[in-house]
Amino acid sequence: MADSEVIAGLDIGTDRIRVLVAEYDIRGKLVVSGWGESRSEGMRKGIVVNIEAAREAVLKAVEAAEHEAGRTVTELWTALGGASVDSLNSRGVVAVSGKNREIGEADVERVLDAARAVVIPMDRDILHVLPQEYIIDDQGGVRNPMDMIGVRLEAEVHIVTASVSAIKNIEKAIERADYKLGDVALGSLASARALLNDDEKEMGVLVIDIGASSTDFILVHGGAPRVTGSVPVGGAQASSDLSIVLNTSLDSAERIKCESGCCWDALADAEEPVIIPGVGGRPPVPVPVTELCRILQPRMEEIFRIVRKKIEKTSGNAGISAGVVLTGGGALLPGVADVASGVFNQSVRIGNPRSSVEWPEACRDSRWSTAAGLILLGDAVKSGGNNGENTAFTEESVNPLKGLMKWLGEFF
């Protein structure tokens, strides 16, 4: 089996780096064969700040996945998120030039080029151009305009931009580890690819990825992304709150949060004490779980309120009829779904990777959603959607039309 038949998804977070390796079996079915993770060194808020440290961390995680899979990886599909990514909605308009006014590939490509002709800073590059809908002679709601008849073609799109330096530094760290950067995708979009079903994407669903230093989100409605963004607060801030209030080290606070933390009163055991390690020779102190909840719940509420405010400001009347899906390491905190439900007044579930791919038991929780989505995106590009899975995009910035066709298969 050639290396080109191996797909590796690399999720570089502020706290952990996770890698999934998948390959095709004799039936052409995608099978996850390896996984690995390491502490994320050389990263700060999702951005590389030390190339050599990042290289070592990437190498360690990929080598663990290669060892598990028994395969050698040459190419890594990775994701961007946090402050390095921004987005906006845009519209393009062109006259249909095809014979008998039949809309063809050239017309679709031209209208997407018109939509992406927006002014962005010199230090940013377009990562994705994602069609939301097409309008033909004032008839809206068209999802695939190919072969339709019209005089005027419009396209409403969601444009995702990324910091050029953020992309280049990740690429450099990967290349120094002797791997090739396959492509880069928006992290929340990759997560959505692994988490959502068609009904959720059509009705309207909000995916919130709670990372260590940031919380990324994507609102999908009518089968397409309407809003993407990031909040510079995550699970690390909740750990910091515990460290400050309980007068303990940050490492101890992180361990206590993961082992005994809770952010919803009804789930806290008032009788169960948690031992807080002393610092500087001070003796350990028992603290009730309800005290941890009193510290953690306001921070999680703050994160969700900021996301809600950004959504309300940007999305207009786009609904979230299918509720909210939480993912990322922060989604594992007991009670977080209850907090989110109270803030958004919506049903909330914790999202774990799904689809027809059989995920290993060790990789079925929300921490692996982005890496799983990257595997599925890589599969879509390599297979062209011929293996029964929904297809996706990743090459819009190079070939808008090719990306469009993959996007139609993914979200429509």
- What are the sequence ranges of the domains in the chain? 3-83+164-195+352-394+403-411, 85-162, 198-351
Let me know: does 23 contact 33? Beta carbons within 8 Å: yes
pLDDT value of position 402: 46
Residues of the chain with pLDDT under 70: 1-4, 315-318, 383-412
Reported as type and span, the H/E element at residue 79 is: strand 75-80
pLDDT value of position 390: 30
pLDDT value of position 259: 92
pLDDT value of position 395: 38
pLDDT value of position 401: 42
What's the CA gap between 112 and 177, in Å, rounded? 36
pLDDT value of position 316: 55
198-351: what fold?
Answer: Nucleotidyltransferase; domain 5 (3.30.420)
The identity of residue 200, as a single letter, is E
pLDDT value of position 408: 42
Same fold, 3-83+164-195+352-394+403-411 and 85-162: no
Locate 344 and state its tokens: 């958004």
Superfamily of domain 3-83+164-195+352-394+403-411: ATPase, nucleotide binding domain (3.30.420.40)
85-162: what fold?
Answer: Dna Ligase; domain 1 (3.30.1490)
The identity of residue 388, as a single letter, is G
pLDDT value of position 278: 79
What's the CA gap between 84 and 265, in Å, rounded? 35
pLDDT value of position 166: 92
pLDDT value of position 383: 67
pLDDT value of position 313: 86
